[in-house]
Amino acid sequence: MSDIIVTESLQVALWQAAKAAQVQAYAPYSRFLVGAAVLDEHGRIHAGCNVENAAYPQGTCAEAGALSAMILAGSRRAKAVMVLGEGSGLVTPCGGCRQKLREFASPDTLIFIASPQEVRTWFTLQQLLPESFGPEHLTT
């Protein structure tokens, strides 16, 4: 499957996976539970949650967990991403996660932002990380 159209039903599947992942989050310090889900180039969905640590900087974001699951499953392309968290503000990926997504996504990859109730909005990766640095910059 080379090109994936993110249909309404795929969007719902991504949201459900992110919601199920959020429940598993380990966030005793911030108490801010986040779930993420990535749709790969084969149409499979990989989920992750944030995992905090008593040594605070060692904590990892939900997006990083979802990307790790995707790589472990043998996939290399993120075709769409769902990030789900609580609160009135949009839970958009942190700067580090935008760069992590950049490695496996394209400028037009959709990043959906959700609450446990609904998908709230979306951005392209290009919108979240303009003028970005990526693997192709390392080729001479």
Identify the residue whose tokens are 């789900």. Answer: 84
Nearer to ligand THU, 79 or 98 (CB): 98
Contact 46, 69 (CB under 8 A): yes
To the query of whether residue 8 is one of the catalytic residues in this protein, the response is no
Point out the catalytic residue in the list 8, 41, 52, 63: 63
Crossing angle of helices 95-104 and 62-72, in 10° steps, is 20
Q: Residues 72-101: x/- map of binding to ligand THU (CB under 6 A)?
A: -----------x-------x-xx--x----
| Residue 127 is a binding residue for ligand THU (CB under 6 A) | no
| Shortest separation between residue 133's beta carbon and ligand THU, angstroms | 20
Q: How many chain residues touch ligand THU (CB under 6 A)? A: 15
Q: What is the per-residue DSSP string for 47-109? A: EEE-B--SSGGG-B-HHHHHHHHHHHTT---EEEEEEE--SSS--PPPHHHHHHHHHHS-TT-
Using CB under 6 A, list all residues that contact ligand THU.
Answer: 27, 30, 32, 34, 50, 52, 59, 61-63, 83, 91, 93-94, 97
